[in-house]
Structure 1
Amino acid sequence: MANDTDTDVDTGSLYTKHDGDHVSLEPVTGEAYVSDSISPTVAELTKDKNHECEGSKGKGASLTLLDLPVDVTYTNDLIALALTHSALYELAVPNIYSRFDIVWPDSSAPAQSSKSVDALSYGLATLCLPSRFAEATKRSRGAGFGQSKVSHRLANNKYAKYIRKFSIGDGPSEWTSEYLINKESGKMLGTLVAIAVSKMVNLESFVWDMPTGVLSDVFMALSSLEDDRGQSKLEKVWVRWHDSSSTTPSSSSASSPTTTFPPPPPPIFPPLPGGSMSNSTGTHIPTNPDDAIPQLKSYAQSCVEYPTFSILPPLKSLTVLDIDDLSYLDEMSVLIERSSSRLRELQVGISKRASNLHDFTQPWDGANLQQVDHEAKWPGESRIPTTRLGGVLGVLVGRVYDIRRKPSPKSHEDSVLGENVDLLNDSKALKSVVKADKPPQPCGTISDDSPDPCLGRKRLDGKLKLEKLALERVTLSIVVCSRAIDWSNMTNLTILSCRHHETLWKALKRQFRPTPPAHGSPQGTPMRYHLSLKHISTDLVSPDLLSFMKETIAPNTMETIFLQDRQRTPKPSVTLEQVFKCTVKRHRNSLKKLLIDSSEKKSSSTLISRAPGRWKHWAIKDEFLSYITSGRMTSLRELGMVIDYKDWHTFLQQLPQLANLRSLYIPDMIDRRSVVALPAAKELALQIVDVISLRKEIRLAYVGLWDKCFEITEVEHSDSANNRFQDDDDHTVSVDDGDHVYLGNSEGDDDTEDEENDDGDDSLMDGDEDFTETSDNESDADSFAEATTNKPSPRLRLREILYYDDKVELFRARHGKL
């Protein structure tokens, strides 16, 4: 195959980390960062694939384009393929630029000041530079050394149109704080992202997880994306907001990048007005005619960006985390209304600081309260107070569902909710609220008795047909949860640090009681369950939750159960035996991912010990450990639990019973902190490698032991011989430069991984098998095939890595946050 001399791949300053099949950036040093686990080069792949086309090719025949391997998915291979020929370049570039991820290294990685290249900005420049600029730059650089031929691909810089996923990850605060939107570097970053995004006509997913703020220009760029048919392909938006108080006009924009903000103060809730009491909507406060109407403010007076979510096209997935300003909720309500028929995933998180200080985070109920101001054209024009009807959830569904409406007496759902009015308080207190004389209400106030000429609009009675709902630090309004969400479609539910969580489980249990078989049904007819939940994750475990899971979810239907009891109590409110009875044993055949942990949540880098030894209450031992490792849970792929060190060897002996397990996480171990010195995490991981080396059917790939994480991979003898470190037990250990290892494409329960592992197991041969001599009449292809079949078995390699939060859901859930 002839090489094209005009081939020139212009990746600009694209510094790559390889995560399977996409490009990511190193935003600190700007150096190329390539994992040593990538596949061989294209040339080697071609050489290894020669035997596949033996039937159609004679001896010595050259390969054609159609004979090239089709399993080239790694970025290095794609780049090498693009350098081979101009035709291959056109095929490879769309795959190279399909994902553009900015990945920060771990805080433990040393910063190399000698090469302080801002790869984050330089990588974006590849997408922002116009084609004529690149062409002129190429010509000017070659002017002093003779005219050089300009690549036609360089002159047509259209890389941005291939990007389908754009992601900016989070990193250490001392590095990311330099990109706050009130700083020059932050403004520059936001402008570059806006320019680049405006060219991504095929963009499907936009993720900004770095808490630095997002300029409104970026949202306007997202709203302008249209393909040739005038339609937007954008489906997912994920934004983690910053501390808006640090970007107010009064804050200094010249603060040091290493400035750290003080931790949020403890919860301080102002005293409630006299006569206040709780109900299923929120905290009921009496009407005060002296309440001042908020004054209109200009855009310059706003401390947050505008516009944001209100101008985005309809989405399927919306995630907004660390919200600390009511304006964001008002903007989100507009987008949720626009996406009401399409939205399937909604994740909302309130910042820790806002949940303690701001009253908009609490659900309220009162005759003069509203959810949103339907007349306001932007949040600054809102004429209603910050105490909102239904709180955060009431605002989000404010343009889809009206809390104040006449319930239909024939509606079964509303009659069930009528039974739930005593969920937050006793029935007598709530009856006193209903019987109390209602003060006169101004026109425009939404209430049960307000006539529709007064409202001037149709009452809203919509429901969000969500499949995934995740809430963090959101105080729940039970009326909104029960009435404004269609729970029949819900499959994934995450509740983290949400007040009134017990009441939610009670309401759902009453609302979705299973229907017993009809009278006269054949014997053995099962009960009819009305919920389709398959994934539940929470850090607040209560008897109401276990009762809900036991009585409203069909047996052997749950696939993911993450239970982390992190309440500030001396011990969990439920026992480990109750957890096993209501969850693990009930769904043993269907469970794929399981996490049981009663450890306290870490605050910053230290653990504030309020209840010493609390994590020991849910330690898996004795009969519980025997049950997990008995072979009954055949679907289990990810497992997280605390165990006793005395049961460690028992666990190793039973590990073959968990042959399908991919990821193991042990956050702590009883007796590990005792006076007796226990083996280090690496030594325990090596013991697991020993078991796997003897039992090849075990597919365990990732092992997390408290603060350490390891990957177990296979390595050929030729590769292990060249390794720099090798222990006495022939366990190949790889120590990477820079402490950061980015893994390849290895999803926990991916079908591709299963096929790869199966192929690997089939390739293992007994070392005692005799080699047969090759006669002179045999073809070279036959000799090559037989030599490949009889090659030595690969060894196992253990290497320390960062926790693989992006791909292993168990590792991501261990943080107990969104």
Structure 2
Amino acid sequence: LDRVEHPSFSELPPLKSLNVLDIDELPYLDEMAVLIGRSLDKLRELRVGIARHAVQREWATVWEGDSLQQIDADYPTSSSVTIGEKRLGGVMGILTGFVHDMRKPKIVLPERIRRRSSARSPHSSQPVASAQQSPPALGELNTNFLQPSPPVATHASPESLNDPLIAMSQQASPVGDGPGDPFEGVVEQATLSPRSSSRKRDDEPETERATLEYLESQQPTLSHRLRLEILELERVPLSVPVLQKAIDWTKLTSLTLLNCQNNEQLWKTLRKAFAPTARSPTYPAPRRTPSSTPKKGSKASSGLSSADLEYPLKLKKIHTNTVSPSLIAFLKETLAPNSLEVLFLQEARTYNSSVSMESIFRGPLRRHRNSLKKLLIDSSEKSPEGLPMNSSRWRKWLVGREVLGYICGGKMPALREVGMAIDYRDWHFFLQHLPSIPQLRSLYIPFIADHVHGSNLDPRELALSIMDIVALRPEVELCYMGIQSKCFEILENKREWDGRPDSHLGMSGTAMDDGPSEDEDDGDVEDDEDEEDGEEGQDDELEETESDDDADDDDDDDDDDDDASDLDEATIDGRAARLRLREILFYDDKVAVFKARHGKL
């Protein structure tokens, strides 16, 4: 049975955002490749996830080789039949099949061209002319599937006949495709510029010139890049060359990699390709002074500060569950200081990270302390459904007192959401420093180590302790608390002036009136006796003393009446407010830390 519905994605118009998760069939990727190629100038958000049971399929593996293709240019939606499941670059190679052609040119060096041209007969210009008359498969592909602007008519001028590659590039390449390639030193497809090629052709014979024109016309002309702002991948093996060539990393602001292989090589490559460079300042004074000349053997860049460097990358969000030392070095050295706003670090079941909590603290936390708004540090083991499992892996990234004091000590002024595991011996230390981060809105504590009650602790009691701090310090804006598997919300109820009892608000049962009225009827004999005793205690407490039990009752009633009077005065002024705790479901749609705790898209 055919499990794939087609046509599917290939019939859609250009999109700005494309989200496809749990892909388990190859034809869906081929259909998406057509849509992505059509949305080249519009696509800004791309989220792709491979199904768990399809990770071991051939098309989900990164393949390399000269005989492999990314997609069939003539029949793209039937590529699984025409060229098979082994694809150049794996999943990302398929998706970018109409964005950037990763195939290497067959002939690059001029020596090989001369060697082949010398073996040909002088009449070899005839097949070249026929080759120039027949358009390449790429032009047909762009016309049939990607539907670009109408191609420019080829004029029979000597210049156009001299270099057909110029006309093809004008049809396939948009104007102003972006800055230069930062990966030029890593992987580069050799192409000849029109100026240099024309200079060489003047010195070459007629036969070699025609052969060179034919070979240039056969080279791949797809060299575009996706100008994505958000890229999220799940269970997608990464092909570093494809990511280098097919994505404009200077436009990317959010990157999520969950259960993706080969990510360590990606961080190393990005760190090398986008290393900060020295800024070219304007010099009001002469640049050369006796004191500015560096001495022999001294490092010229040692005196450069972060303000004197240019950082090409604009990443503001990083979410990954494969934390490697290369990632920590990338976050610390490649991104501009105080530029990262969201950092979610987790640990996958199949990946054992060698990064310690100390490295995370010394690296990205201190580097981006003024800009971090949302922070999640969780090394717990998750089930395939994203639920916590009974293991002790979460202790690896247990936040100690030094890091806890740094986070809660006011040194991260932009922090709005935080998720971390702490030790119970630091619980009161955490409560004492909570007023130092009044801007915190959401708190997630999945684990508390070495609690006095063991594993039988009550999350509600811990939430009530936090609510006490919020009640005592009104400037604290904490609203949502996730403790272990429970989630709570702090609600603020403004009390009305009409004297409704506290029991209506779910609080104490003290009445709102100044004292009991004469016509008040409770309908209970014992309550009437207590009220009578209270009235006698209020009227005669300065004149006579009754028994010890009655005196105790009188004192309690006096305190209650005094508290009620104070609350009434505050209520009249409009300043009083009562807080209450409500258990809710995790607000994954409102709180990013709650949504990220699952470790999946």
Residue 315 of structure 1: how far off its partner (Å): 1.2
- Any conservation in 1 of the 2:471–2:579 contact (CA below 8 Å)? yes
Tell me the equivalent position of 2:16: 316
Tell me the equivalent position of 1:589: 370
Question: How far apart, CA to CA, are the structure 1 residues paired with 2:328 and 2:12?
Answer: 39
Tell me the equivalent position of 1:808: 591
Question: How far apart, CA to CA, are the structure 2 residues paired with 1:305 and 1:384?
Answer: 20
String of CA shifts for 1:184-208, please: whole Å, max 9, x gaps.
Answer: xxxxxxxxxxxxxxxxxxxxxxxxx
Letter in 1 for 2:251: N
* Residue 140 of structure 2 is aligned to residue 362 of structure 1: no
Question: How far apart, CA to CA, are the structure 1 residues paired with 2:238 and 2:462?
Answer: 43
Tell me the equivalent position of 2:7: 307
Tell me the equivalent position of 2:95: 396
Question: How far apart, CA to CA, are the structure 1 residues paired with 2:214 and 2:239?
Answer: 22
Residue 517 of structure 1: how far off its partner (Å): 4.2
Question: How far apart, CA to CA, are the structure 2 residues paired with 1:640 and 1:692?
Answer: 18
Tell me the equivalent position of 1:689: 467
Letter in 1 for 2:62: P
String of CA shifts for 1:653-687, please: whole Å, max 9, x gaps.
Answer: 11001100000001111014x76466400110011
Tell me the equivalent position of 1:90: none
Question: How far apart, CA to CA, are the structure 2 residues paired with 1:729 and 1:309?
Answer: 65
3-state DSSP class of the match of 2:412? coil
Match of 1:642 among 408, 418, 421: 421
Describe the shift of the 1:411–1:686 C-alpha distance in structure 2 as closer, same or farther (beyond 3 A): closer
Question: How far apart, CA to CA, are the structure 2 residues paired with 1:656 and 1:724?
Answer: 26
String of CA shifts for 1:511-555, please: whole Å, max 9, x gaps.
Answer: 101102459599765211111011000001000100111111011
Tell me the equivalent position of 1:210: none
Question: How far apart, CA to CA, are the structure 2 residues paired with 1:676 and 1:452?
Answer: 72
Describe the shift of the 1:418–1:339 C-alpha distance in structure 2 as closer, same or farther (beyond 3 A): closer
Q: How does 1:594-609 map to 2 (within 5 A)?
A: 594-604=375-385
Instruction: Give the TM-score taking structure 2 as reference length.
Output: 0.66
Question: How far apart, CA to CA, are the structure 2 residues paired with 1:333 and 1:811?
Answer: 33
* Residue 240 of structure 2 is aligned to residue 478 of structure 1: yes
Tell me the equivalent position of 2:529: none
Describe the shift of the 1:604–1:495 C-alpha distance in structure 2 as closer, same or farther (beyond 3 A): closer
- Any conservation in 1 of the 2:501–2:510 contact (CA below 8 Å)? no
Question: How far apart, CA to CA, are the structure 2 residues paired with 1:317 and 1:470?
Answer: 12
String of CA shifts for 1:210-255, please: whole Å, max 9, x gaps.
Answer: xxxxxxxxxxxxxxxxxxxxxxxxxxxxxxxxxxxxxxx4xxxxxx
Residue 580 of structure 1: how far off its partner (Å): 0.7
Residue 705 of structure 1: how far off its partner (Å): 0.6
Tell me the equivalent position of 1:552: 334
Match of 1:416 among 185, 199, 202: 185
Q: How does 1:230-249 map to 2 (within 5 A)?
A: 249=1
- Any conservation in 2 of the 1:717–1:792 contact (CA below 8 Å)? no
Tell me the equivalent position of 2:268: 506
- Any conservation in 2 of the 1:336–1:396 contact (CA below 8 Å)? yes
- Any conservation in 2 of the 1:371–1:395 contact (CA below 8 Å)? yes
Letter in 1 for 2:257: I
* Residue 252 of structure 2 is aligned to residue 490 of structure 1: yes
Tell me the equivalent position of 1:149: none
Tell me the equivalent position of 1:654: 433
Match of 1:667 among 443, 446, 451: 446
Q: Is the helix fraction higher in 1 or 2?
A: 2
Residue 464 of structure 1: how far off its partner (Å): 0.2
Tell me the equivalent position of 2:277: 515
Higher relative contact order (CA 8 A, sep 6+): 2
Instruction: Give the TM-score taking structure 1 as reference length.
Output: 0.49
What is the percentage of aligned positions where both structures have the same residue? 46
Tell me the equivalent position of 1:327: 27
Aligned pair count?
432
Q: How does 1:209-358 map to 2 (within 5 A)?
A: 249=1, 302-356=2-56, 358=57
Letter in 2 for 1:635: A
Residue 717 of structure 1: how far off its partner (Å): 3.0
Question: How far apart, CA to CA, are the structure 1 residues paired with 2:356 and 2:600?
Answer: 23
Letter in 2 for 1:613: S
Match of 2:320 among 527, 531, 538: 538
Tell me the equivalent position of 2:153: none
Describe the shift of the 1:676–1:473 C-alpha distance in structure 2 as closer, same or farther (beyond 3 A): closer
Q: How does 1:717-756 map to 2 (within 5 A)?
A: 717=495, 721=502, 723=504, 725-726=506-507
- Any conservation in 1 of the 2:482–2:586 contact (CA below 8 Å)? yes
Letter in 2 for 1:545: L
* Residue 82 of structure 2 is aligned to residue 383 of structure 1: yes
Tell me the equivalent position of 2:481: 703
3-state DSSP class of the match of 2:98? coil
Match of 2:223 among 425, 444, 461: 461
Letter in 1 for 2:30: D
Question: How far apart, CA to CA, are the structure 1 residues paired with 2:17 and 2:377?
Answer: 28
* Residue 458 of structure 2 is aligned to residue 680 of structure 1: yes
3-state DSSP class of the match of 1:462? coil
Question: How far apart, CA to CA, are the structure 2 residues paired with 1:384 and 1:472?
Answer: 25
3-state DSSP class of the match of 1:563? strand
Describe the shift of the 1:795–1:724 C-alpha distance in structure 2 as closer, same or farther (beyond 3 A): closer
Q: How does 1:419-430 map to 2 (within 5 A)?
A: none
Question: How far apart, CA to CA, are the structure 2 residues paired with 1:688 and 1:606?
Answer: 25
Question: How far apart, CA to CA, are the structure 2 residues paired with 1:600 and 1:325?
Answer: 29
Question: How far apart, CA to CA, are the structure 2 residues paired with 1:341 and 1:486?
Answer: 12
Tell me the equivalent position of 2:581: 798
Letter in 1 for 2:586: Y
Describe the shift of the 1:386–1:770 C-alpha distance in structure 2 as closer, same or farther (beyond 3 A): closer
Letter in 1 for 2:241: V
- Any conservation in 2 of the 1:540–1:567 contact (CA below 8 Å)? no
Question: How far apart, CA to CA, are the structure 2 residues paired with 1:728 and 1:650?
Answer: 33
- Any conservation in 2 of the 1:470–1:494 contact (CA below 8 Å)? yes
Question: How far apart, CA to CA, are the structure 2 residues paired with 1:606 and 1:534?
Answer: 27
- Any conservation in 1 of the 2:386–2:599 contact (CA below 8 Å)? no
Residue 614 of structure 1: how far off its partner (Å): 1.6
* Residue 72 of structure 2 is aligned to residue 373 of structure 1: yes
Residue 572 of structure 1: how far off its partner (Å): 3.3
- Any conservation in 2 of the 1:316–1:342 contact (CA below 8 Å)? yes
Residue 350 of structure 1: how far off its partner (Å): 0.5
Residue 788 of structure 1: how far off its partner (Å): 8.9
- Any conservation in 1 of the 2:71–2:79 contact (CA below 8 Å)? no
String of CA shifts for 1:323-362, please: whole Å, max 9, x gaps.
Answer: 0011111111111111110111111110111003x11001
Residue 507 of structure 1: how far off its partner (Å): 0.8
Letter in 2 for 1:547: A
Match of 1:572 among 353, 364, 376: 353
3-state DSSP class of the match of 1:691? helix
